[in-house]
Structures are given as C-alpha cells and as structure tokens.
Amino acid sequence: MTERSGAVEDSAHPPLSPLDVKILRLLAQGYSLREVEGEADTSAGVATRQVERLMTLLGARDRTDLVAKAKERGLV
C-alpha cells in the first residue's frame, strides 16, 4: 500500500481519497452518519454517497462490516 497526493492506494483496491479515509476513521470511532457529516464538513448526501461507495469498494454489507473490512486492510 502506498500513499500519494493524499490518497491511499492498494493494488487490490482503487485509491481512497482523504475524505474516504476520514469517513472510515470517523465510522470506526463510532460516529453516526449525521456526526460524520459534521466532522467531515460535508452534506448529508455527500457523506451517504461516500459511505455507499466505500461499502461497494470494500464489499461490505453494512457500516459495521465496512469498518471491519477497513480494519482488516489497515485503512483505519
């Protein structure tokens, strides 16, 4: 895994933006989606789309599974 220009890149997965990583870290800390929106300084729609995108990228069933998969891959 390498880090270039603020994005986390792993050969098995598309690069994650700094916002993706921030959202994953906040979810891992137990933040609700509404709290993530405030901490990430983004709107509800953007945060929701990012979480859905991350779930698809990591093959997660739900947010709990998303955090587990992110931890397995060393993303949080």
Q: 15-19, 20-24, 64-68 — which is least confidently predicted?
A: 15-19
- Beta carbons of 51 and 66 less than 8 angstroms apart: yes
User: What is the rounded CA–CA span in Å between residue 18 and residue 65?
Assistant: 20
Q: In what order do the strands lie in the sheet with 7-10?
A: 2-4, 7-10, 13-16
User: Model confidence at 44, in pLDDT bands (50, 70, 90)?
Assistant: confident
Token pair recorded at residue 59: 């093959």
Of the chain, the percentage scoring pLDDT greater than 70 comes to 82
**For range 64-75, the mean pLDDT:** 94
pTM of the predicted protein model: 0.78
- Beta carbons of 54 and 20 less than 8 angstroms apart: yes
User: Model confidence at 15, in pLDDT bands (50, 70, 90)?
Assistant: confident
